[in-house]
Structure formats: C-alpha cells, structure tokens
Amino acid sequence: MEQPRFLTSAADKKGFLQTDKPIIAVSGRSNVGKSSFINMLAAQKKLARTSAEPGRTRLVNYFDFGAFVLADLPGYGYARVSQAEKAKWARLLDDFFGTGCVAHVFALADIRHAPSADDRLMVDYLYSTRTPFTIIATKADKLAKTRRLPAARALAAALRTGEGNVIVTSAEEGIGRDAVLALAEEVCARRSRDGEEA
C-alpha cells in the first residue's frame, strides 16, 4: 500500500470528490474514534486530526489509500450541536450517499456500549439504500480479552447483522488493522469485477 495522504474536504455536494477508485466511507457517532481508526489503517499518527471535543468533523474528508479512497463522514449524535447544524449534517449525508459512488461503509460503534439510537438509524439507512457495510467495533483495548467476542456478538445482534460482519479493532493496540485492510482489498476486487461485467 502506498503512503496514504489527505486529498480534500467537502462541505456540500459541489465539493464531493470525483474518482474512478472505490470510495469506502467511515461513519460513526461523535467520539467513537473515527480519526484514530483512520490513522491506524494508514499507520500514521496525524493523517486524520483527532480532537478531544466531539463533533469537530463537519465536512467529508477524503484520504487516498492507493487502491481506494477513504471518506471520513461527519460524526452524528452529538447533543451540543444545534438542530440546524444536525439538519445540515443530515442533508450532507443524504447527498453523499445519493451519489451512488460509495462501494462500502465502515460503520464504527464503540464495543463497550450498546448501539445508540443514532447507530441503529445509520445501519437502517444503509440497509434501506442497499449500501454494503461492515460494523467496526472500536476501543477493544478498553475491554478484557474475554469480553471482546461476547461484546461483538451483542453489537451484531443489536444492529441486525451477522457476527461475521463485525471486525473488532483497537487503534491503541493495532487490533483488527489487517482484517480491515483485507476487507478493503475485497471491496476493490469486487468493484473491479463489477466493472468488467458491466
């Protein structure tokens, strides 16, 4: 994999990146660890900016990973954001998925907690738009090893997906990085096959 790099940010649909590469989106509630997850995948500490304050990502940020482009979506569910701001984010996500260019979504959820109503809403949205997705269970280092598998199973059940569609990760310890990158390779291969059959 070539050195991942930041490409551009988009505040609205006019700025959405046009690319022939598969786009894999990263979604999740504020403070679930999206930036840390992206930095883990890139094996860089500062590719995606992390913040102690939730709700800072208000744009779609694009990163070039060579074979694919990762699109970091604004975090949802942060209570201290105004209703107008939440509506703006919702429109941005609707426009983003409406382009039809999303090959897959890494839907992040904190492995330590039951999914929030917003998490369930996001997964319902992905099902309704028939967008392929995988649940990325973050912050596994915060749980004892014996509790990780049961917690991942509970996430899968709560979000109505199979256990095989959950990848347990920890940005702190690098857990799950290889599995996520292998999945990204599969997404790229699938997109390539679909293109040949078209």
- 37 membership: H or E segment, kind and range: helix 34-42
Q: What is the pLDDT of residue 162?
A: 92
pTM: 0.91
57-87 b/e with 16+ CB inside 10 Å = b? bebbbbbbbebbbbbbbbbbbbeebeeeebe
For residues 12 and 51, give the distance between their C-alpha atoms in angstroms, rounded to a whole number.
Answer: 22
Measure the CA–CA gap between 109 and 96, rounded to whole angstroms.
20
- Report the distance separating Cα 145 and Cα 56, nearest Å: 31
Q: What is the pLDDT of residue 93?
A: 85
Q: Tell how far CA 187 is from the center of its chain.
A: 14
pLDDT digits (tens), the chain, 198 positions: 679 999 999 988 899 999 999 999 999 998 899 999 999 999 998 898 765 444 455 789 999 999 999 999 988 866 566 777 777 777 888 899 988 899 999 999 999 999 999 899 999 999 998 999 999 999 999 999 999 999 999 999 999 999 999 999 999 999 999 999 999 999 999 988 876 664
Residue 108 identity (one-letter amino acid): L
Beta bridge partners of 88: none
Q: How many CA atoms lie within 13 A of 83 on its CB side?
A: 0
- pLDDT at residue 90 in the model: 79
Of 37, 97, 129, the closest CA to residue 57 belongs to 37
Quote the pLDDT of residue 45.
87
Domains of the chain, by residue range, sit at 5-197
DSSP helix/strand/coil, 60: strand
pLDDT of residue 54: 47
User: CATH number of the domain at 5-197, out of 1.10.3210.10, 3.40.50.2300, 3.40.1110.10, 3.40.50.300?
Assistant: 3.40.50.300
